[in-house]
Structure 1
Amino acid sequence: MNTHPVMFVLLLLTLLPSPLLSAGVSGEDLVIADFETDSYGNWTVTGNAFGTGPAKGTLPGQMKVSGFKGKGLVNSFLGGDKSKGTLTSAEFKLSQPYITFLIGGGGFPGKTGMRLLHDGKVVREATGTNVEPGGSEALSQGFWDVSDLQGQTLVIEIIDDAVGGWGHINVDQIVQSDHRPSRVPMQKSIVVDQPYLIIPIQNGGEKVTLEVSVNGKPVRHYTTELAMTPESVDWYAYFSMDAYAGQEAVVRAERVRPDVFDLVAMSAEVPGSQQFYKEPLRPQFHFSQKVGWNNDPNGMVFLDGEWHLYFQHNPVGWNWGNMTWGHAVSKDLVHWEQLPNVLFPETMATGACFSGGATVDFKNTAGWKEGDEDVLVAFLTDTGAGEAVVYSRDRGRTFSWYEGNPIIQHKGRDPKVIWYAYDDTDRPLDETAEQLGGHWAMVVYDETEGQGQRTSFYTSTNLKDWSPQSHLSGYYECPELFELAVDGDANNTRWVTFAADGKYVLGDFDGKSFTPEDDSKLQLFHGNIYASQTFDNAPDNRRILIGWSRIEMPGMPFNQAFTFPHELTLRTTPEGIRLFSKPVKEIESIYTGKQTAVAKSLTPEQSFSLQLDGELYDVEATFEIGNSQQVGLRMGNNEIVFNAQDETVMGVTANMVDKTVTLRVLVDRSQLEVWVNDGATTITERNKTVGPFSLLEAFAIGGEATLSSLQVHQLESAWPKE
């Protein structure tokens, strides 16, 4: 290229950074340090807390660090909380009115933090947020208004001069900026003078940490999707605060707009609660939580006339996370009342409160009983710690954390505990067990390295001290264990075990180990059901099961739901002893009307129809297959079809009985449950119709069949009438 020398110099000048640009011009963010390199560059290090370069996230022995940007950050936890040191920047000239940064760790002024120095004097200071046990290693957005210092030469110093709990500091992304962050750390004190603390949620919003403390002790600590703006609120989460009535609570959010933080407030009711139970996808006789996410049912137990359903709950998000134990009770397994949550992550447990079971300590083996009330005892996985036990002296409304937790430390989760009572043929576990007439047995999922997926069995006489006994291979999470009579004969029983997928085996359990009758697993449940559990201590030796029905609820303030309660029995069949299921008889309490039909001929050209005017039904139809290829029911957009050629219903194997098939269908908003041949097979699926449908049709395809009988019960909602 031929270029005049003067033109070349001018071109070169345009390509080189000017002194003004390198200092930062108005309107342009200027990174002071992002800590993305392997060294601190021109920063000066003293002491042993900061090492020779930025950390790449969490350090050994530290809780998970989050909220930093990129791959590196300043983290003075090197060697634990006993190390000290300083990290000091080179001088820089201030050209913007704000300095923004991310900061976390200890909250001790003058000991753990970051300082801005002018002529050797501290002119601004920031610290982390943690001073008490618990807390979070999440970094929060911070800033300094330095408009009065523009044009001055400054230095930043990061300090760790503390030892002991939270004696460290985390810092990242220090930037000069011409605007303050729109979302900043916020804190306020409020008097608990209403039952609920309400929290504005935006589905898909940026996750931030929200903490509530009372008397200096954190009582709620959640990572949630706070609304980005007041206009973007999708729904309101809530914390029940009655336990702290009249006290002062401190609410902190790591990153929030002030006008959004104003919406975090005490309230007499939850915004949107007028529509609870009325939403288009809200199940009307299957339990679902008011807001937030659910997954596994937990701690299912009967005590003093109440069925207790605890459950995995994210109370501040539409998706999985923040595992808390929610709580609902029922007198009849149909009408449920949701009570305040009972087990909380990080402020009660060390980590999250994962799944587990519950029982009643009638013999007071743990010694926790005071007064006349029997103690309800629950077991859970405290993530990061192990299996834990909690106990309630107020009928399961609140729980105390056993000071000796964890009771078992291993790589596993989801403990289920039952009482194993001795009969004349049993050998007592020990002298204490002999005096008690039995012992406690725990089945728990075990992930011991090199052993594959399995369940393990432990025993105890006091619910606190547990001894390992045996293992059973081939089972993954949420184990279940119970004994059932065969054909109602109390002298002929089998033990049943299964895990989250519901595939079961029958066998013998001697209080310490399970011996299967057959190596192959059997399957009763199909479709969108997972992690089911049965009630402990059910009256009349009933075995009642509820599962997690994994069905999304788009556009709703809640997500997922539960199956209707199933009653389980063991029956003798030509193939052997098998597990059967049916809806609990208490469903009859919400029957409002009935239509029937008998002996209706069905051909490809002629179906049978009933006119309907609702959306909630219990339908039972029996078909004589004849020479047809398929028979089934149409209800709105749903087809429940039995295929005679491969003997399947909705793709699931379900054998005919003497050329006859029976279909029973519970129709609720958002979900269907199907029982085939008196409960030999059950299927949980989504209801493809939103709202009422006007026609039920029984049909045959590819030949003639007979609709032997049809019963259609219309149901009323089990939710409170307002």
Structure 2
Amino acid sequence: MLATFALIGLLTASPAATAEDSTRPDVVIADFEGDDYGGWKADGHAFGDRPARGTLPGQMEVSGYLGRGLVNSFNGGDDATGTLTSPPFRIDRPYVNFLIGGGGFDGETCLNLSVDGRTVRTATGKNREGGGTEALRWDGWDVKDLAGKEATFQVVDCRKGGWGHINVDQIVLADASRKPAEAVRAIVLNHRYLHLPVHTGGPKTRMKFTIDGQTVREFDIELAEGKPDFWVFSDLKSYEGRTLKIHAGELADPKALDAITPSDEVPDAAGMYKEKHRPQFHFTSRRGWLNDPNGLVFDLGAAQGQGFDRGVIHLFYQHNPYGWNWGNMHWGHATTLDLVHWSEFPIAIYPHAYGDWAFSGSAVADVDNTGGFQKRGTPAPPLVAAYTSTGRGECIVFSSDRGQTWTEYKGNPVVKHNGRDPRLLWHAASKQWVMAVYDEGEKRQSIDFHTSPDLKTWTFASRLDGFFECPDLFELPVDGDPNKTLWVIYAADAKYKLGRFDGKTFHVESGPDKHTLWHGNFYAAQTFSEAPNSRRIQIGWGQGITFPGMPFNQQMALPVDLTLRTTPDGVRMFAAPVAELQSLRDAKHDFSNTTLEPGKNPLSGLSGDLFEVKLAAKPGAAEEIELNLRGTPVIYDVRRQDLVCKQIRTFLPLVDGELRLHVFLDKGSIEVFGGDGRVAVSVGVIPDDANHALGVASRGGAASLRTLEVYPLRSAWIKP
């Protein structure tokens, strides 16, 4: 039963006393309003030679500082480093207050208070991940125990890369703290979900859910303290009937917790998947951020035939359920019966603890129960997943209920190293499990191979240099010949090599250079384990395809079948959209076997948002052939044999003298498969609400259209 939340109320709802409540004025140590740093000493380049006047070049907008100046170590960007040290002063108030923002890295982007040459207090900004905000917020320390001591402040920036900077302003000694008090609200859990309001770009708050003093959820959220941009949710079904405490630190108004709402449905359940810019046949998460596909596996638990009736198909993915930007990495979960229509399920893998996030990995069906994870009395083989626990290492979890719940292996982590993203596979020839996992060292990035008889005990076997994160490894027949196979290996950028793999070592046979199939917004792709009929089905993340103003962000690319084919340049990998997508087609508009004359547009009568287009044309005298999809041109440069779409220009040779394109247009993206799939392009497009037109054009001369078929597509979110 999923009944009602009883609202017990706000246990701590008022901020701490402010400096204005004191009878003595604050002692201002530094307000950074001058034309230089005065007696403060700057070393390195990060702080420049004077206080910043707000936002620096290349930086998100900085807010929350007082007056015109502040310390901002983004001088020269995130890779600049340095320190800024104050003259000595005497501590003669019980509190130190200051405004701080920027990077949240202990010892690397911080403000330190030192006494007798020893750091006695330290504070950082709040940002460690993509997104975030440059807003400064009040922080501070109780320094009663240091009364009368001589001290110094030092602002430190020794961090390079994302959020490798610190912002500080208005350092004062005071009789009262300005640090916001923690707000706490208690609720009896009688509904399944808590709805949480989000303001994208607002200050991040660390939120914690506790039951009987034990933390059951902890995450960062841009909690709306006014009108929200959208609502996210937390599924608390397993804690029904118990009292939950919601803890939130550093809220300007602790009453913001009052807006958190109990419900038996997810937010706007009736309107979900119908949002204005929701992709209609690319997978997107119902709420929050999505990135790498994880744990793609066919579940053999319902094995009865040779097709999709063998069981459900699982897609797990990197997911921030609490915001529009990257962060709070969980494993989201969805399933399909046909690779087209998806159903979302509760979070599959929660982080082990705050800061120990559930990063990418993979899943397999342990058909022979080599790990001993199969529960007695369950006929289905267990699903086993490996993922990177960022605080521990590579970890194993298993499921005996078809992926609905997961249990941690007690011996975790099974591999500890400087890397992430384990890819599991069964190597039949050597009768052992293989883990291909990203590893890095000084000036080295590689895929490491470990082997195991049981998914528990792993032995390092070999290393292949030159690949960065999210590896995949599989065998494919060449030209469909099962007696002639090659192994494919690639990492996050999808650039691949071909060779032989003996279960321990990958022997490259395709030369020193990597080959490229995918271009554009495509990253961290993975193929499905246990796919029937020897299919090798791949899904990638459409990295950078954003949906501003929506309650979700990012999408998956279309599922494709991968094959190896012999070309004049050697064996290459091809990608073809899975045939199951044809189930979305409406009536065909056929313009085949015609001449495409300059200035003519056979598609002028068509308009809409969702289309599949198939084109095969002999260029003839044409210099360019163009498809125009709601204002976005897809151009073929005949002389150079280049395919051009937005920022992408790539070589696409004619096939038997023909240009062959297979194109999919969705609300936020275009995917183009050229040359029967030798080239694949994924690009994001900003929806133009005023332009729904399609066009095809020839420039410089006429082209001959052997095939021009246009299919309006139905939404995949409408179940057949």
Q: Which SS does the other structure have where 1:690 is aligned?
A: coil
Q: CA deviation at 1:141?
A: 7.4
The equivalent of 1:261 in structure 2 is: 257
Mark the runs of 5 or more structure 2 residues left unpaired by the alignment. Answer: 1-18, 32-83, 126-135, 148-169, 302-310
Identify the match of residue 413 of structure 1 among 402, 410, 420.
420
Q: Which moves more between the two structures, 375-384 or 695-704?
A: 695-704
Cα 1:691–1:375 change in 2 (3 A) is farther
Q: Name the structure 2 match of 1:686.
A: 684
Instruction: Determine whether 1:277 maps to 2:269.
Output: no
| Cα distance change of structure 1 residues 142 and 602 upon mapping to structure 2, 3 Å threshold | closer
Asked if the contact 1:441–1:460 (Cα under 8 Å) also holds between the matched residues in 2, the reply is yes
Please give the secondary structure, in 1, of the residue aligned with 2:255.
Answer: helix
- Aligned with 1:549 (options 529, 542, 552): 542
Counterpart check, 1:70 vs 2:114: no
Contact residue 350 and residue 382 of structure 1 kept, 8 A: no
Distance 1:40 1:390 in 2: 54
Q: How far did residue 541 of structure 1 move?
A: 1.3
Q: In the alignment, what sits opposite 1:246?
A: 241
Deviation sequence 1:409-442 (CA, Å, 0-9, x none) = 11111110100112xxxxx5xxxxxxxxx10001
CA distance in 1, matches of 2:177, 2:146: 23
Contact preservation (8 Å) 1:323, 1:354: yes
Q: Cα distance 1:29–1:586, how it changes in 2: closer, same or farther (>3 A)?
A: farther
Shift of 1:156: 2.9
CA–CA separation in structure 1 for the residues paired with 2:22 and 2:454: 71
The one of 414, 437, 460 equivalent to 1:444 is 437
Out of 366, 369, 373, the position equivalent to 2:371 is 366
Q: Secondary structure of 1:441's match?
A: strand
Q: Which residue in 2 is equivalent to 1:595?
A: 589
Residue aligned with 2:580, SS: helix
Q: Given the two structures, how large is their TM-score scaled by the length of structure 1?
A: 0.75
TM-score (norm 2): 0.76
Cα distance change of structure 1 residues 507 and 252 upon mapping to structure 2, 3 Å threshold: same
Q: Tell me the alpha carbon deviations over residues 605-659 of structure 1, each in whole angstroms, 9 at most, x when there is no partner.
A: 3342252242111110111111211112122202111111111111111111232
Which digits, 9 at most, give the CA deviation of each residue in 1:539-574, with x for residues without a partner? 111111111102111111111111011111112222
Write out per-residue CA displacement over residues 150-207 of structure 1, whole angstroms, 9 at most, x where no aligned residue.
xxxx993489xxxxxxxxxxxx9886478977x5311122122111112111111111
Give the Å deviation of 1:283: 0.4
Instruction: Give the greater-gyration-radius structure (CA).
Output: 1
For 2:519, the equivalent position in structure 1 comes to 526
The worse-fitting range, judged by mean Cα deviation, of 172-181 and 555-564 is: 172-181
Q: Secondary structure at the match of 2:374?
A: coil
- 8 A contact 2:436–2:472 mirrored in 1: yes
Query: In structure 2, do the counterparts of structure 1 residues 517 and 526 end up closer, same or farther at CA, with 3 Å as the change threshold?
Result: same
Is contact 1:413–1:444 with CA below 8 Å preserved after alignment? Answer: yes
Q: 1:354 aligns with which of 328, 350, 359?
A: 359
In 2, the alpha carbon distance for the partners of 1:66 and 1:291 equals 34
> Aligned equivalents of 1:155 and 1:673: distance in 2?
59
1:578-593 equivalences under 5 Å are: 578-593=572-587
Structure 2 match to 1:296: 292
In the alignment, which residue of structure 2 is the partner of 1:458?
450
Q: Does 1:481 align with 2:487?
A: no
SS in 1 for 2:241: coil
Deviations 1:572-606 (A, max 9, x none): 22222211111111112221221112221123233
Which residue does the alignment assign to 1:380?
A: 387
Q: Distance in 1 between matches of 2:20 and 2:85?
A: 20
Alignment of 1:693-712 (within 5 A): 695-712=693-710
| Residues 592/23 of structure 1: CA separation in 2 closer, same or farther (3 Å cut) | closer
Equivalent in the alignment of 1:203: 200
Alpha carbons 1:36, 1:71 under 8 Å: kept: no
The number of residue pairs the alignment matches comes to 593
In structure 1, how many angstroms separate the alpha carbons of the residues matched to 2:453 and 2:230?
47
> Aligned residue for 2:166?
none
In the TM superposition, residue 64 of structure 1 has moved relative to its aligned partner by 5.7
The question of whether the paired residues in 1 share the 8 Å contact of 2:21 and 2:176 is answered with: no
Identical columns (%): 39
Write the deviation string for residues 447-504 of structure 1: whole angstroms up to 9, x where unpaired.
Answer: 0235x11111110011111101111111111110001112222221111000111111
Q: Retained in 2: the 8 A contact 1:142–1:185?
A: no
Q: Quote the residue 1:230 is aligned against.
A: 226
Residue 522 of structure 1 aligns to which amino acid in structure 2?
H
Tell me how far 1:698 sits from its aligned partner: 2.0
| 1:129 aligned partner | none
Q: Distance in 2 between matches of 1:416 and 1:468?
A: 14
Question: Partner letter of residue 440 of structure 2?
Answer: E
The SS at the match of 1:443 is strand
**Pick from 665, 668, 683: which aligns with 1:667?**
665
Distance 2:715 2:588 in 1: 16
Distance 1:460 1:657 in 2: 45
Q: Deviations over 1:89-124 (max 9, x none)?
A: xxxxxxxxxxxx9999xxxxxxxxxxxxxxxxxxxx
Cα displacement (A) at 1:361: 1.1
Could you tell me how far apart the structure 1 residues matched to 2:352 and 2:704 are?
Answer: 60
Kept in 1, the 8 Å contact 2:631–2:693? The answer is: no
How big is the shift at 1:29? 4.6
- Cα deviation, residue 39, structure 1: 7.8
SS in structure 2 at match of 1:403: coil
Separation (CA, whole Å) in 2 of partners of 1:605 and 1:24: 76
Give the unaligned 5+ runs of structure 1: 1-21, 45-52, 58-62, 79-85, 88-100, 105-138, 145-153, 160-171, 423-427, 429-437
SS state of the match for residue 588, structure 2?
A: strand
Contact 2:591 2:602 in 1 (8 A): no
1:632 aligns with one of 626, 630, 633: 626
Taking the aligned partners of 1:311 and 1:173, their CA distance within structure 2 comes to: 43
C-alpha displacement of 1:23: 12
